[in-house]
Amino acid sequence: KAGVTQTPRYLIKTRGQQVTLSCSPISGHRSVSWYQQTPGQGLQFLFEYFSETQRNKGNFPGRFSGRQFSNSRSEMNVSTLELGDSALYLCASSSGQGADNEQFFGPGTRLTVL
């Protein structure tokens, strides 16, 4: 069974630009969650999509948005990039709910904002 894939793996952008990251979950999984990881803040939850609907949202500005398609693939968009957006962006795939709901992470996209 293929794991979680994320593209691209590396991105370099300049301040003010926008960026779109993609995540393909494990086949059959309907939930995709996005996280930002930085040395100072650690792993922080951005949002979760389940069956094309945003189910949970973390405490990030509106510049961060996402969507999920009917095949469960998800995209995350960051507009008007700031230097502080430089981070490793990780997505997690899971079946959806339940105490046995194990999260599986992709390799991440390393975003550098210059």
Partner 1 sequence: KQEVTQIPAALSVPEGENLVLNCSFTDSAIYNLQWFRQDPGKGLTSLLLIQSSQREQTSGRLNASLDKSSGRSTLYIAASQPGDSATYLCAAPEVRGNNDMRFGAGTRLTVKP
Distance in Å, CB of 15 to partner 1, minimum:
23
> How far is Cα 72 from Cα 65, in angstroms, rounded to an integer?
16
Q: Is 55 in the site for partner 1 (CB under 8 A)?
A: yes
| Gap between the Cα atoms of 19 and 28, Å rounded | 27
Binding residues with partner 1: total (CB under 8 A): 30
Q: Which residues contact 40 (CB under 8 A, 6 or more apart)?
A: none
Q: Does 108 bind partner 1 (CB under 8 A)?
A: yes
User: Which tokens sit at 54?
Assistant: 């945003």
CB-neighbour burial class of residue 102 (10 A; exposed 0-12, middle 13-18, buried 19+):
exposed
Site for partner 1 in 61-100 (CB under 8 A): 88, 90, 92, 94, 96-97, 99-100
| Residues found near partner 1 in the complex (CB under 8 A) | 4, 6, 31, 33, 35, 42-43, 45, 48, 50, 55-56, 58, 88, 90, 92, 94, 96-97, 99-108, 110
